[in-house]
Amino acid sequence: MPTSTPERDIDLESPIGGIPLVHQTLPRWAPHATLATAVLAGLALVGAGIGIGLAAVLVVLLYGVAIYSWSRPIEGARKAKDRVVTTAVMATFLLALLPLVSVIVTVISRGAARFDIEFFTHSMQGVVGAGGGAYHAIIGTLIITGLAALISVPIGMLTAIYLVEYGRGKLARAITFFVDVMTGIPSIVAGLFAFALFALFFGPGVRLGIMGAIALSVLMIPVVVRSTEEMLKLVPNELREAAYALAVPKWRMIIKVVLPTALAGIATGVTLAIARIIGETAPLLITLGITTGTNFNPFDGRMATLPVFSYYEYVNPGIPPEPSLERAWTAALVLIIIVMVLNLAARLISRLFAPKTRS
């Protein structure tokens, strides 16, 4: 039976008792319009000679005040406050992107000057003033990072396997906890550790490539353990049980079933771990030092690496300092490119080779 008063005829604005059932709201375009006005005002201020940074701050403040005072009488205090908080949250996000953009723009614009063939094909042997390159440092970085990965990946993966497949009880809990704690060890302390270890046997003047690799692996191992562990946990238990049902021994089950299933994820984690340590400067500064010539033997004396190279070009510039500083920035640019490529590669690996997971 149809009701005598269809729903749409109820007057929501002034029902019985005079208490409205709906709130008035600002039109949907209100924030955009306010923002546009605020930005225009900001541009006018910049035109009037105020700095861009100050103008941006003023635009945000202006927008916040405007939207609050528009919203308050119409929507009430609570909604107005919500709009102000939304403004603040968005503004902080943009604020956080500012250093990222600024760093990348700075490094590219200043590093482009020496981003040439010579930089990648020459060492600093006998170079005074302009010219020279970071060939020795780039290869050195690759060798040291490679060695660090060679040490860290097996240890890290085996530990993760222990934690996921074998570990029960106190030992496993202790390892999990201290691996987490280890991710927070300052890189300089890792460098001091490697130095102290070798100084005990070879005396305090020792500088070797392998020392740097060991310092870096102290930093890299916990990252590898964490990411590998997460990936191994994602492997469905049905796969393990199916292998057991075929009477496969546990170690073969792990090697033939668990690891291949998690391989893409592990590779992603290792790539990210390498990206994290390849730019480390402090531990290499105190374990490898710097050389001007090429030394690719990690068991014999000082080696050059890209971050330390960049640091020394900045600290000890020649006269005039410009060629050195240009080399420092170009080294920074190469470093940032390597890190970005590694990050990108990690995302690609995880996207292309990820097994289909059931949620």
Amino acid, res. 12: L
Closer to other proteins by CB, 22 or 117: give it.
22
Interface with other proteins, residue 119, by CB under 8 A: no
Whether the CB-CB separation of 46 and 55 falls below 8 Å is answered with yes
The residue from 26, 41, 46, 79 that contacts other proteins (CB under 8 A) is 79
Alpha-carbon distance of 20 to 16, in angstroms, equals 9
Interface with other proteins, residue 316, by CB under 8 A: no
Closer to other proteins by CB, 139 or 346: give it.
346
Interface with other proteins, residue 280, by CB under 8 A: yes
Q: x/- contact string, 134-173, with other proteins (CB under 8 A)?
A: --------------------xxx-xx-xxx-xxx---xx-
Chain positions 198 to 217 lying near other proteins, rule: CB under 8 A, are: 199-200, 204-205
Interface with other proteins, residue 19, by CB under 8 A: no
CA angle, corner 261, sides to 260 and 263, nearest 5? Answer: 60
Task: Measure the N-to-C terminal CA separation of the chain; round to a whole number of Å.
Answer: 47
Q: Which stretch binds other proteins (CB under 8 A): 40-48, 62-70, 106-114, 134-142?
A: 106-114
CA angle, corner 19, sides to 18 and 22, nearest 5? Answer: 125
Alpha-carbon distance of 347 to 265, in angstroms, equals 10
Chain positions 180 to 199 lying near other proteins, rule: CB under 8 A, are: 180-190, 192-193, 195-197, 199
The residue from 227, 310, 324, 330 that contacts other proteins (CB under 8 A) is 310
Evaluate the omega torsion of the peptide bond into residue 320 and state whether it is cis, within 30 degrees of 0. yes
The residue from 137, 328, 330, 349 that contacts other proteins (CB under 8 A) is 328
Interface with other proteins, residue 357, by CB under 8 A: no
Interface with other proteins, residue 97, by CB under 8 A: yes
Alpha helices in the chain, H assignment, sequence order: 30-47, 52-75, 77-111, 117-121, 135-161, 169-182, 187-202, 209-234, 237-245, 250-253, 259-277, 282-287, 306-315, 322-353
As measured in angstroms, the least distance from the Cβ of 158 to other proteins is: 4
Alpha-carbon distance of 170 to 175, in angstroms, equals 9
